Structure 1
Amino acid sequence: MKKVLTGMLCASSLAALAQEKGARFSNTVQEPMAVISVKLDQAPNDSLVNLYEPYSGDTATAYVKNHQFELRMPMKKGGSVYILQIGSNPTEQNGMGTVLYLEDGKMQITGKGAGFNDAKFSGNPWVKEWQEVMAITDPFSGEGLRFAQLEKQYHEAVAIGDEDAMNVAAKDALTVENSMKSKLKTWMAKHPNSGVCGYILTVYFTKEQKYIDSVYETLGDHAKASRILQRYKNPGKVDDVPLQMKMGEGAPAPDMGRVKIGAAAPDFTIPDLDGNKISLSGFKGKYVFLDFWASWCSPCIAQIPHLQEINNEFKDKNFLLMAISLDSKQEGWEKAVKKHGLDWLNVSNLKGWGEPVAGLYGVRYLPSNVLIDPAGNIVAYDLYGDALKAKLKELIK
C-alpha cells in the first residue's frame, strides 16, 4: 500500500503540470461534480493547491485564502482516486499531501493543523467508505505501518545485495499483505455498491484477474460505473494509457511513451554481461521477446520459471529472449543471472530506472515486456505465463 500511495505522492512537478494543463477544471462548473471544501487552521495562505488524478492527468487548482480553499472536479466519467496536495513539498509524512477517492457529491475536510494529518473528513457516504478502507491500509499505523517497515527492510537489503534478507522481508511482508487483503475482501462483501471497490480490486488484487472478474459480477451498478472499473473493463476507451508507479534504483530515463502495436520497434545498442555491444537490429528475422526485469524485483523473479519454459520450447524456433535488467550494480546482476539460471541473452546499461531502453519503450513498471516480430514490428506488450505461450504458439508454427 505504502509504495502505491508514496509513489503517487512523489510527483515532483505538480505545480508545473497544473500550469501546463491550464488548470482546466478550476473555473468550470459541470455535473456531476465532486466539491471539496477544506478549512485547515494553519494552512499557509497563498499556497498553491493541486487536485490531480495520476492516471489521466486531470487537474484542478486553487490557492489557500484565510486558511481554506475549495476545489471542483468534474465526475462525468465516474468515481476515481486523486492526489490532493498543498504547497511545493507535499508528502504524506508532512501532512501536506493525501490520497482521496472522489465521486459526485461533497467532501468537507477540517483540521487544526497545516495539513491533512489528524484532519476530519465528512460529507457524502463515499467519504466515510474511503476513510474505512484507508484505516485498513494506513501506512502509519497497524498492519499498514508494519508493511511499510518491511518494505524499508527489503530496500535496505537490496542496497547491499543481501538476497537472504530480501527474501525474509518479502516473506513477512506477504503475510501482512495477505492479512490486509482478507480484511479488504470482507469490506467489499459488506459494501458491494461502493465505488471504492474499484480502487481495492485494481490496486490490491491487480494480478488476480479471475478474482477481480468474479467480484465484479457481485457488485452493484453504482460500483461498476466507477471510472476505475470502467477503465479496467474498457482499456484505452475511457482514458489513455495510465501512469504507473516506479520502484527501484536510479532516476527514471526520459519516457518516450509506448510505441503503438504494429509500429516499428525502436532500435538500440546495449552491453551484455561480458560488455559486448548488442543491437536489436542484429536479430531481425526472429521473434524477439524483451523482458524488463531486475534482481531486486520479486514479481520478476516469480516470472523466471515461466520464461525458462518458454525459452526451452521456442529457442530453436526463430525466437530470442532478451532480458534487459534495470539493475545498477554489475555484481548483483551477475549473481542473480547465475542463481536463477537465466540462460538467455542478458543485457543492461546498469543505470537502474535510468536504463535508456526502458525509457525508449515506455517501461514504467516491472516486470514488463515487449514482443517483436521478424519484421521488427511490435506485436504485443506485457504477456505473462500462459498468455505468452499462447501468443507464441499462435505466431510461430
Structure 2
Amino acid sequence: MKQKHITITAVCIALVVIGYIVYSNFASENAGNEEGDTAIDFTLPSYNGEDLTLSSYEGNVVIMNMWASWCEPCTDEIPALIDFHHAYRNKGVVVLTINMNSYETDQKDAKQFVEEFNMTQTPAMIDEEGDIAEMYSIQYLPTTFIIDRDGTIARKVAGEVDFERLETIVQDYL
C-alpha cells in the first residue's frame, strides 16, 4: 500500500514538472521581436539613475524607440517623440527611448544628446551592453516598436518616424 502512494506521488510530481516545462516553453515561444509577438521584457538603467522595466508599462501603449547619438534620423525624430509623449501621456501612451550605447563611438556623446534634447522628461534608457539590441534584432537605427496595452508588438518601424505618423499608428491602439 505504501509503495502505491509513493508511485502516485511520484507520478503527480512528474506531471507537475512536465506541465511547468510545457507552459514555460509555450510562454517563451510567444515572446519575440516581431509584430504579433509578446514584447520581450527587460530592465535597463535610465539617464535619471533608476532602473526601468518594460513590463511595468503594461496597460499603456508603448512607443519604444532605439537610437544612437551619431544617427542623423535619430536626431531628427527625437523632438517629435518627446512632443508625442507630452501630447499623449494622459491618454495612456508612454514613449520609451533606448540609447544603443554599445553602438556609440564615445559614451559622452549619448549623455550630451540626452541633455541637449532634454530627454529626461521621458523614460530615457541605456542599453549598455547591447543586450536589447540583440534581443530585438536591431539592424537599423532608428527603430521604433509600437507595443499595445497587452504587451504585444503591434508595429515595428525601421527608420525615422514623425508626430503625424505616430498619431496615425497609435489611434488603432488607444
2:108 — aligned with what? 331
- CA shift, 1:282, in A, is 1.1
> Does the alignment pair 1:280 with 2:50?
no
Between 1 and 2, higher relative CO (CA 8 Å, sep ≥ 6) is seen in 2
Identity of paired residues, percent?
26
Length-normalised TM-score, structure 1: 0.33
Q: Over residues 109-151 of structure 1, what are the superposed CA-to-partner deviations in whole Å (9 max), with x where a residue is unaligned?
A: xxxxxxxxxxxxxxxxxxxxxxxxxxxxxxxxxxxxxxxxxxx
28, 35, 41: which one aligns with 1:261: 35
8 Å Cα contact 1:330/1:350 also seen in 2: no
- CA shift, 1:309, in A, is 2.6
Q: Partner amino acid for 1:292?
A: M
> Does the alignment pair 1:300 with 2:74?
yes
Alpha-carbon distance in structure 2 between the residues aligned to 1:323 and 1:260: 18
Give ranges in structure 1 of 5+ residues lacking alignment: 1-257
- CA shift, 1:313, in A, is 1.3
More helix by proportion, 1 or 2?
A: 2
Q: Partner amino acid for 2:61?
A: Y
1:360 — aligned with what? 135
333, 336, 344: which one aligns with 2:122: 344
Q: Partner amino acid for 2:171?
A: K
Q: Over residues 349-385 of structure 1, what are the superposed CA-to-partner deviations in whole Å (9 max), with x where a residue is unaligned?
A: 334xxx1111111110101110111111110011722
Alpha-carbon distance in structure 2 between the residues aligned to 1:294 and 1:286: 25
Alpha-carbon distance in structure 2 between the residues aligned to 1:365 and 1:373: 22
**Superposition pairs of residues 43-58 of structure 1, within 5 angstroms:** none
> Does the alignment pair 1:309 with 2:83?
yes
Aligned-residue CA RMSD in angstroms? 1.8
Alpha-carbon distance in structure 2 between the residues aligned to 1:345 and 1:274: 8
Alpha-carbon distance in structure 2 between the residues aligned to 1:331 and 1:378: 31
8 Å Cα contact 1:288/1:372 also seen in 2: yes
Alpha-carbon distance in structure 2 between the residues aligned to 1:260 and 1:336: 28
Length-normalised TM-score, structure 2: 0.71
Number of residue-to-residue matches in the alignment: 136
Alpha-carbon distance in structure 2 between the residues aligned to 1:330 and 1:278: 20
8 Å Cα contact 1:322/1:346 also seen in 2: yes
8 Å Cα contact 2:61/2:173 also seen in 1: no
8 Å Cα contact 2:149/2:173 also seen in 1: no
**Superposition pairs of residues 138-217 of structure 1, within 5 angstroms:** none
Alpha-carbon distance in structure 1 between the residues aligned to 2:34 and 2:112: 35
1:390 — aligned with what? 168
Give ranges in structure 2 of 5+ residues lacking alignment: 1-31
Q: Partner amino acid for 2:33?
A: V
Q: Which has the larger radius of gyration?
A: 1
149, 152, 161: which one aligns with 1:377: 152
The secondary structure found in structure 2 opposite 1:371 is strand
